[in-house]
Homo-oligomer: A and B are copies of this chain.
Amino acid sequence: MQNFVYGNRTKIIFGKGTEKTVGVETAAYAKRILLHHSGGHAVKSGLLDTIKESLKAASVEWVELSGVKPNPRLSLVYQGVEICKKEKLSFVLAVGGGSAIDSSKAIALGARYDGDVWDFYDRKKTAVEALPVATVLTIPAAGSESSISSVITDERGPWKQSVNEECIRPVFSILNPELTYSLPPYQTACGVADMLAHIMERYFTREGHVELTDELCEGTMRAIIRNARKIFNGGTQNYDARAEIMWAGSIAHNNLLSTGRIGDWASHAIEHELSALYDIAHGAGLSVIFPAWIKYNIKEDTPRLARFAAKIWGVDGAYYDFEQAALEGVFRMKNFFRSIGLPVTFADLKLPTDRIPEMAKRAVKFGPVGTYKKLDAKDVEAIYRIAAEET
């Protein structure tokens, strides 16, 4: 087990009706804030009105910036930074999913920086300070509500890059599972793939003797899969199933499951090129890439891949033929993804294959990716090809 430092300051306020506390919670930090969201569902559903009432009641003023899109764009971040500076706002409240939150984190970074906020994403600068960010979560997926991550797309590349620093971890996040009843099935499914991927990136490690966190990873994955099935089996409005999924999404990415381990994260880098070029949902890209990543690595610590098949997918006989068990695990994982409406091949996403070599080169632009097996452009290209050839 590796040495580690672990802490998570995010105050999670979880459950029915909790969005009504947003005013009081915000007022403890600031009286003038940026309210940042997509402008879509949160407006139509009345959630934004509830939030504004709560802010008003707590004497918190806001400037509103809407228009966040999936794969959030740098251009909107620039607008947010300018507003915060001009209006002297000292807090960013995100309403939405990972996109609104990641965009808010980027704005919070830029508001405290004199240069170009993209410097942090382009690894020219290390982020050490930001405005406090808080969230009202409506899409369980990215885990951004209590994570140190922000992923932004510079549409001029397009480049999709991330910052992972403590200073952008939200100070509080409000999670009401009822707000997710109205999520379209595809978005629910993409969220499930995203949170499973966050755990798999941590689970597939070469670090020895990480039994406690192995157990925590496995338990969280099983809870996600079981409750996703409930939601897709007529449980759209099943509060408890929605609640398990929502809380699991945070735990998947708040770094508890990383303690003592070294994660892989190659699949995220490989997927980011798909969503950067073709603007597909991150979760959908992950359900295509992860099975291919496992297949490509089938000879790499096969017992761990077999254990994954046994503990998560119920593959019996994992201890007789590790490789066969591992492949059966991939087969069942793909079946699960398809059963909730997710793609598992390039064809499912109607993606062309002509830019595979280009994507592979872009994926390793900062050097080889992954730690389970270090992957160069040739490896990444092979993984894209497996995903393209999967049936």
A residues touching B (Cβ–Cβ < 8 Å)?
1-18, 208-209, 211-212, 215-216, 218-220, 222-223, 226-227, 239-241, 243-244, 247-248, 251, 256, 259-260
Contact = CB atoms under 8 A, between A and B. Distances in A.
A6 B2 contact: no
B211 A244 contact: yes
A235 to B, nearest CB: 11
Contacts of A211: 223, 226-227, 244
A139 to B, nearest CB: 18
Nearest to A248: B212
Interface centre among A247, A248, A259 (most CB of B within 10 A): A247
A1 B209 contact: no
B212 A223 contact: yes
Contact of A219 (B4, B17, B212): B212
10 contacts: A3-B18, A4-B15, A6-B11, A9-B9, A209-B241, A211-B226, A212-B219, A215-B218, A215-B220, A247-B260
List 6 A-B pairs, minimum CB-CB distance, nearest first: A3-B15, A215-B219, A209-B240, A7-B11, A212-B223, A219-B219
A11 B211 CA distance: 22
A251 B220 CA distance: 15
Contacts of A6: 11-12, 14
B244 A259 contact: no
A247 B3 contact: no
Contact of A212 (B3, B239, B247): B247
Contacts of A8: 7-8
Nearest to A18: B3
B9 A13 contact: no
Nearest to A208: B240
